[in-house]
Amino acid sequence: MKKTTRINTEMRYINNRQRFTISDLMAEFDISRSTANRDLADIQELGMPLISHVGAAGGFTVMRNQLLPAVQFNTDELKALFVSFMATTNTQLPFLQNRQTMTEKLLAIASQAQQDDLVQLKQLLRFENTNPANADLLELTDLASPLLKTLINASIASRHLTLTLTTGQTHDVYIQYLYNQDAQWQVMTFDLTQQQSHVWSLTSIHAVAINEAPLDMTVVEQQLTAAQPQPNLVLQLGPHAVQQFKRLHRPNRLLQYLDPFQQTARFQDYVAVDDASVLAQTADWLLFLGPDVQPIQVPSALTTIIKTRLQQWS
């Protein structure tokens, strides 16, 4: 690795850590102690503010909120960034406030030849969420609710939150994860009072607040395990259904492959049979998987809905 490349990589490595030592740099970049010391001196000369600490627990820390030197992208990296940004059109991307401004910033760092290529890419490529009538058209779903940014920032600071719903109810919850499904953001939570998991749509949440009460994560993990319901939906999937599963499935759902080539698999999940919307969504998804599915265990309520859907086509 060239010295310039190594220095830039080391700066990003350092900036991503609260604390590091000379030994960390030596091990990560396979360099000697003297080389690590010289690199640190060069990094400080470039303007990165490092603070050294002596003693057994010593090392270096970085003063926060400092800017790194400008990062340069080659042509393929710039295209990859631009295409990735295009692919998120109309998907309620978090933290996005003005897509046009960000697109112009990406174009601004490109040369004229690169700009021409990016414009051609924009005209050439179509994605699942691209408006078929006008690829440049941004729909209302492009921008997420401002509450999404608030919720994510609060969850980064603490997973222990108090959610106030639009109905006025409040819930003391542990945030497990967020996901986007059918152009709607969903929040998977564990209700610390009711001791059960619950999915809330972002539209059902009115306000978010960090709960300052400390959480014992060991206890929370035990409660999560104890509250996990037994699967009531068990399927065996053939090759076509496996591919359909990869295209669409709920987050944190896994397949248990039954052969070395991953052509057949077993799927287990719990379906809340007392929730009509969950039953309807699950029925739609099972029909999406296609005929290459062998049911092993299916709730009767779900079977009834699927039969009704199929009768509509007979």
Would you list the domain boundaries of the chain? 3-62, 75-142, 150-226, 233-311
* Distance between CA atoms of residues 68 and 61, nearest Å: 15
**Range in 26-35, 138-147, 164-173, 186-195 with the lowest mean pLDDT:** 138-147
Angstrom CA distances, 243 to 45, 129, 246, 253, 293, stand at: 53, 20, 5, 14, 12
pLDDT given for residue 250 in this prediction: 85
**CATH number, domain 3-62:** 1.10.10.10
Smallest Cα–Cα separation from 90: which of 184, 214, 190? 184
Tens-digit pLDDT profile for residues 111-156? 888 888 988 988 888 888 787 777 777 665 667 888 999 999 999 9
Pairing status of strand 293-297 against strand 233-237: antiparallel
Contact between residue 154 and residue 210 where contact means Cβ atoms under 8 Å apart: yes
pLDDT given for residue 139 in this prediction: 66
Long-range CB contacts for residues 82-85, cutoff 8 Å, separation at least 24: 82/106, 82/118, 82/121, 82/122, 83/121, 83/125
With both helix axes pointing from N to C terminus, report the angle between 22-29 and 3-15 in degrees, rounded to the nearest 10.
130
pLDDT given for residue 106 in this prediction: 82
Give the three-class secondary structure for 190: strand
For 150-226, CATH number out of 2.40.50, 2.40.240, 2.30.30, 3.30.420 equals: 2.30.30
Q: Which residue has the tokens 């497990």?
A: 176
Tens-digit pLDDT profile for residues 24-59? 999 999 999 989 989 888 888 777 778 877 766 678
Pick 266 or 180 by higher pLDDT. Answer: 266
Angstrom CA distances, 218 to 194, 221, 225, stand at: 18, 5, 11
Do the domains spanning 3-62 and 150-226 agree at the CATH topology level? no
| Mean pLDDT calculated for residue range 213-232 | 93
pLDDT interval class at 74 (50, 70, 90): confident
